[in-house]
A and B are shown apart, each in its own frame.
Chain A
Amino acid sequence: MRRPALYDAGGAEVMKRAGHVAVTVVLWGTLGAVLAVRAYAAPPAQKLPSALLVYPLIEACPSGDRACALTDEDGGDTRIELVNLTGASQQVQCFYVYGDTCNEIGFFIALTPYQPLSWFATQGLNNVITGSSAPPFVGVGELKCAVVPPESATDLSAHNSIQGRATVFRANGRTVSYGAVGFQRLTPGPYTGEIQLNGSTYAQCPDKLHFDVFADQPTGTPSTASELILLTCSEDLVLQAPKTITVQLLVVNEFEQTVSLASKVTCFDRRTLGALGGPLERTTLGSETAHLIVRGSEGPLLGLVIDDVPFAGLSGTAGNEPSFQGGRSATVLLP
C-alpha cells in the first residue's frame, strides 16, 4: 500500500510547501488585520448617494395640539424630502421613531429614476400607482430610511442611490433645514434588514460630533436658546429595545478654555444648550461661539444643533450639522 505522500521520499518538500502556505496565510492574515484596523475610525462621508439615511429631527405638531410636547402653541410641521440620484427605480423602507416612546412606524416608498419626493409629516403621503405611502406623524422624533434593492441587484450602485433632507418649520416662520445623515454601503450583498454600520458592510457611525455653536443668551435682547438633538446610532427596531447611552460633552471657547459636561440619551434627546449646564451660556462661556465635541460613551451618536442666532434685535434659526471625526461600529435592526 502506498503511504501518504507526506511520509515518502518527497515528504520533506511537501512539509516545506506546507510551511510556506502556513507562513503565507499568517502574513495575509496579519495584512488583513492591519487593513481592518485601518478601516476602523472612518466616519461616514456626507453629501454622497447613500444606502441609509437618518433624519435626526422630525417635528410635527398641529396648531393648538398641546399633547405634542416640546413645541410651542403655534404648532409646526416638517417637509421631508427624498431624492433618487440614479437612473434606476428604488424601493426605500422607512421608519419614524417617536422621541418619547422610542416606538416605530414603518412604511415603504417607491422612487422612479431621478424622482424627487416630498411630503409634510402631519399629512403623510399616499400614491396608489407607485405603492408609496407614508402615514401621518404627530410628535417629535426621527426618521430612518434604508434602500431595499431588488434581490437580483446586490451591487453597490443598487444600494447607494438616495439622499434626503428635511425642513422643520413653525407657524411663525422659524425654519430649520438640514441634510439627512447618509451612510454608504461599502460591500455588495443582499439587503437583510440588519444594517451593520461597521466600516465593512456600511460606513461606520461617527465617533465624535463637532459643532460650532452660539452661546445661549437666555436673558439677552433678544433672548436666544439653541437646541441640541442627539440620537443613538445603534437601534433595534425589531425588539423595540432602546439603549441608554452616556454622553460626554467637551466645550472649548474662543480662548481655548475647556469645560466638560455629561448627559444621557435613550434613543432620542432634545434639550437647549442652557439646559446642559452653565458653560454654554454666554455669560459663563466668555465668548460668542464655542466648539462643542460630543461623544457617546457606550456607543456612537448622531445629532443636530438648532442655532438660535441673534441679529439686529431679532433672532433667527438655522440647522447646524456636525462635522465628523473617527468612526465606531453600530447596528440598526429593521423589522
Chain B
Amino acid sequence: MADLFRILAAFLALYMQRITPGAPKLQPIVRPPTATATRTATFTPTPTATFTIPPTKPPTQPPPTATAKPAVSSADPVGFAVVGVPPAQKLPAAFLVYPLVRSLTTSDRTIDTTIELMNLSSTLVTLQCFYVQGTTCNEIGFWVTLTGQQPIAWKARTGVGGTGRRVAPPFTGDGELKCAVVPNTSDVSSYNTVQGRAIVSDAPTQPVASDTAAQTVGYSAIAFRRLSSGDFTGEIALDGITYEMCPDRLHFQVLANKGDFDSELILVPCAQDLERQLPSGANIQLAVINEFENRLSGATSVKCFNRISFGTLPSLRRTSVGTDTAHLIVYGTDVPVVGLVIDRFKVPDTGAPSTSSNEPYLEGGRPAIVQLP
C-alpha cells in the first residue's frame, strides 16, 4: 500500500509539472521515479543526545539527556509549554518500559511480580530485556523469544514461567524492566509486534482468616513504536523519528493522602545509558490542581527509579489539597519521565484496604535516548 501511495504521488507530481504553463520540459527519465512524497515528521525534534562512545578513555560528558528545553509558559501549570507528540498506547510496539517490578519476601509480607509479554504478530520475535535495580541502577540483561501470537509470563522472583521453564534471571528488590524488539528485518512491521503487562501482588506471608484478598496492582507497560525502518543498534532513539518520543508530561488523577492509607508515585527517567551504567537523573516538577481549580506545586527528584509515598509530598496531602481527588501533573525538568501511581484507599463503610494501579495520561513529547549494551 505504501508503495502504491508513493508511485501515485510521484506520478501526480510529474503530471502536475507537465501541465503547468511555463514549466520546464520534462527530461527523459533514466531511472524509475523515486517517491517525491517522502514522509516527513510533523514535529521535527532535535535529538541532541547523540552521544558517541569513546573507544579508549572513560566518558567525560554527562549521560544522555533531552536538552531541548521547551519555552517557559506562565499560563501552563508546570511552567513550560507543551511540545511534541506523545507515544500512542495499547498498540503493537517495539520498546516496552515496565516502571515497577517488585520481588521481596519478609517475615510478614510476600511481594512478587508476574511479568507478561505477548506477541501480536504471527512471526517469531526476539526481545532484549533488562531489569534495572532501583537502588543501584545496575542492569541485568536477558533475551526472550516469542513464537507467533505467543503469550509468555514469569514471576520476577524466580524467573520461571507458567510452563515450568526459566525465562528470565531471578530478580530481587524494587526496580524496572525494559524490553526492546530485536527484529528479523529492518522493516517497521518487524519492530512493532509486542505488548506487555505486569501484575504486582502483595499478600501476608502467613495469611490468617481475616485476610480475604491479596493486594494486586496490574498495569500495562509503557510502549513506544518504531517509526522508521532501519537496523537495530541498541541505541533506542526516542526522538519522534526513529521511535516515538517520551511523553513531555504525565497527568494523573489521584486520591489525596489522608494519612491512614498512602498512595505511591513511581517514576523512571526516560533517558538511560545501560551500556555505561550512567543513570540520567531528573528533577521533577509537580503541579497539583484540586476540584476547585486551586493550584499547588511541589518538587522531587529521581535518579533511575523512585518510589515516593504521597505522605512525603506535602502538596498531595488531603489537608493541603482540600478535596479528595486531585489532578497531578508530573514534569521532568531535565529529562522526560515515565511512571505509575498506586492508588490506595479504604472502602467506605467496611474499611477494607483497596489497592489498584493508576496509569498516566500522556501529553506532548520530548526526545530521549536509551542505550542498551
In the bound complex, what is the Cα–Cα distance between A247 and B116 (angstroms)?
25
- Is A248 among interface residues, defined by CB-CB distance under 8 A? no
A308-332 CB contacts (< 8 Å) to partner B: 309, 311-325
Query: A24-B15, A87-B75, A175-B354 in contact; A312/B205 too (CB < 8 A)?
Result: yes
- Is A245 among interface residues, defined by CB-CB distance under 8 A? no
Can you list 30 pairs linking A and B with CB atoms under 8 Å apart? A28-B12, A30-B8, A47-B89, A47-B90, A49-B363, A74-B350, A114-B293, A115-B327, A169-B354, A171-B349, A172-B350, A173-B352, A179-B359, A212-B117, A254-B161, A254-B162, A254-B163, A255-B163, A258-B149, A288-B162, A291-B118, A291-B119, A312-B214, A316-B213, A316-B214, A323-B91, A323-B92, A324-B90, A324-B91, A325-B91
Smallest CB gap from A317: residue in B: B216
Query: A212-B118, A311-B214 in contact; A318/B357 too (CB < 8 A)?
Result: yes
Contacts of B361 in A (CB 8 A): 47-49, 83, 85, 163, 179
Q: Is the CB of B8 within 8 A of A31?
A: yes
Q: Is the CB of A289 within 8 A of B116?
A: yes
Q: Which 7 A-B pairs have the closest CB atoms?
A: A288-B162, A318-B218, A316-B216, A45-B88, A173-B352, A316-B214, A177-B356
In the bound complex, what is the Cα–Cα distance between A213 and B153 (angstroms)?
10
Contacts of B151 in A (CB 8 A): 212, 252-254, 289-291
- Is B330 among interface residues, defined by CB-CB distance under 8 A? no
CB distance from B34 to the nearest CB of A (A): 17
CB distance from B16 to the nearest CB of A (A): 7
- Is A93 among interface residues, defined by CB-CB distance under 8 A? no
CB distance from A213 to the nearest CB of B (A): 8
Interface stretch of the complex, out of B58-66, B193-201, B268-276, B304-312: B193-201
A49-66 CB contacts (< 8 Å) to partner B: 49, 63
The contact of B197 among A118, A212, A255, by CB within 8 Å, is A212
CB distance from A297 to the nearest CB of B (A): 20
CB distance from A45 to the nearest CB of B (A): 3
- Is A237 among interface residues, defined by CB-CB distance under 8 A? no
Most buried by A among B75, B356, B358: B356
- Is A20 among interface residues, defined by CB-CB distance under 8 A? yes
- Is A34 among interface residues, defined by CB-CB distance under 8 A? yes
Binary B-proximity of A251-294 (CB < 8 A = 1, otherwise 0): 01111101000000000000000000000000000011111010
- Is B217 among interface residues, defined by CB-CB distance under 8 A? yes
In the bound complex, what is the Cα–Cα distance between A212 and B299 (angstroms)?
36
Q: Is the CB of A309 within 8 A of B216?
A: yes
Query: A83-B361, A115-B327, A287-B162 in contact; A212/B153 too (CB < 8 A)?
Result: yes
Contacts of A6 in B (CB 8 A): none
In the bound complex, what is the Cα–Cα distance between A196 and B317 (angstroms)?
42
Query: A47-B362, A319-B357 in contact; A312/B153 too (CB < 8 A)?
Result: no
Q: Is the CB of B90 within 8 A of A83?
A: no
Query: A46-B88, A167-B356 in contact; A289/B152 too (CB < 8 A)?
Result: yes
Residues of B within 8 A of A (CB): 1, 4-5, 8-9, 11-12, 15-16, 19, 75-77, 86, 88-92, 110, 112, 114, 116-120, 147-153, 161-163, 195, 197, 199, 201, 203-205, 207, 211-218, 220, 251, 253, 289-291, 293, 295, 324-327, 329, 343, 347-350, 352-363
- Is A43 among interface residues, defined by CB-CB distance under 8 A? yes
Q: Is the CB of B207 within 8 A of A314?
A: yes
Q: Is the CB of A83 within 8 A of B253?
A: yes
Contacts of B358 in A (CB 8 A): 165, 177
CB distance from A138 to the nearest CB of B (A): 16
- Is A81 among interface residues, defined by CB-CB distance under 8 A? yes
In the bound complex, what is the Cα–Cα distance between A84 and B361 (angstroms)?
11
Summed over the interface, the residue pairs from A and B with CB atoms below 8 Å come to a total of 240
Query: A171-B352, A177-B358, A287-B162 in contact; A323/B118 too (CB < 8 A)?
Result: yes
Most buried by A among B15, B207, B214, B362: B214
Contacts of B203 in A (CB 8 A): 311-314, 316
Contacts of B327 in A (CB 8 A): 83-84, 114-116
Q: Is the CB of B293 within 8 A of A112?
A: yes
Contacts of A315 in B (CB 8 A): 213-214
CB distance from A290 to the nearest CB of B (A): 6
Q: Is the CB of B211 within 8 A of A210?
A: no
- Is A109 among interface residues, defined by CB-CB distance under 8 A? no
Contacts of B291 in A (CB 8 A): 115-118
Q: Is the CB of A325 within 8 A of B120?
A: yes
- Is A38 among interface residues, defined by CB-CB distance under 8 A? yes
In the bound complex, what is the Cα–Cα distance between A288 and B9 (angstroms)?
50
- Is A243 among interface residues, defined by CB-CB distance under 8 A? no
- Is A239 among interface residues, defined by CB-CB distance under 8 A? no
Contacts of B289 in A (CB 8 A): 114-116
Contacts of A288 in B (CB 8 A): 153, 161-163
Contacts of B162 in A (CB 8 A): 254, 287-289
Q: Is the CB of B86 within 8 A of A48?
A: yes
In the bound complex, what is the Cα–Cα distance between A49 and B251 (angstroms)?
10
Q: Is the CB of A46 within 8 A of B89?
A: yes
Most buried by A among B5, B90, B91: B90
